[in-house]
Amino acid sequence: MTISDLDIYRAARLYMDKHGEEAPIHAAMKQDEMLEKGDMDGWAVWGRIVKATEELLCEKPPEGVRH
């Protein structure tokens, strides 16, 4: 089963809404859970979500800066 980049970024956005700047950490914890279960497909998906949350956080403007 292939998960689209759009779905990965949607999941990343939801994780960011829930966990804020700590979203990559929480997503990495989920990735670790998948590894512990031996779910390599799940591990790969959560790895993509980790990367997406990191990318989205880098795209945020610094605090106090308005667009």
Say what the pTM is. 0.84
Domain boundaries, the chain: 5-58
Tens of pLDDT along 5-49? 999 999 999 999 999 999 999 999 999 999 999 999 999 999 999
- Confidence band for 61, pLDDT divided at 50, 70 and 90: low
pLDDT at 67: 44
- In the predicted model, is pLDDT for residue 50 greater than 50? yes
3-state secondary structure the chain: CCCCHHHHHHHHHHHHHHHHHHHHHHHHHHHHHHHHHCCHHHHHHHHHHHHHHHHHHHHCCCCCCCC
